[in-house]
Amino acid sequence: MTVVSGSTAGSAAAGAGRACTTLLDDLRRAGRTEVKEACGEGRCGACAVVVGGELRLACLVLAARVGDAEVVTSASPECTAAREALVAAGAIQCGYCIPGVAVALTWAVATGVPLDEALSGTICRCGCHVGFREVAAVLGIDSADDRGANGGGGDRGR
């Protein structure tokens, strides 16, 4: 059974018996709508979650592979500081990428990963990615370079 951080009734195991059910589908069926579905192909980062300490894209992870691992979503208590910093910086224009960004920023704080690596699989379509650097500074995340946090792609599904 998958355990969603900060939720006593947050089991996402409804479809875990079906080999083709993604973690994204299970989380959304369990009412965890903060995990967004955008591209469904692992290209945008909107569905980023932390599974057992690793940043993953929920649209690429099979629910059956998650097992009993803790899943952190943007609504989990661990993400409170990132959510609040994003709001304070005004880096939330359309908001679609923000749940995944909040999770990635929280993961970066926990692991010491630089901002550009943490957001390498995130696409911000409305231009708020500029504010992500301000948020990273507030959270104490190292900004490795000035290429921008609007990287796209990434390899977070495995």
Residue of higher predicted confidence among 60 and 94: 60
As annotated, the residues of the chain forming the CATH 1.10.150 domain(s) are 77-139
> Which CATH code, of 1.10.443.10, 3.40.50.300, 3.10.20.30, 3.10.20.740, is assigned to 3-72?
3.10.20.30
Exposed (0-12), middle (13-18) or buried (19+): which is 62, by Cβ within 10 Å? Answer: middle
CATH of domain 77-139: 1.10.150
Q: Which residue has the higher pLDDT, 13 or 50?
A: 50
Read off the pLDDT of each residue in 123-151 and give the average, rounded to a whole number: 78
Given phi > 0 = left and psi -120 to 50 = alpha, else beta, which region is 55? beta
- pLDDT computed for residue 104 by the predictor: 97
All CATH 3.10.20.30 domain ranges of the chain, comma separated, are 3-72
**What is the pTM assigned to this prediction?**
0.83
Tokens 């692991």 locate to 111
| 29-65: pLDDT as tens digits | 999 999 999 999 999 999 999 999 999 999 999 999 9
Upper half-sphere CA count for residue 129 (Cβ side, 13 Å): 25
Among 106, 95, 110, 127, smallest CA distance to 119 is for 106
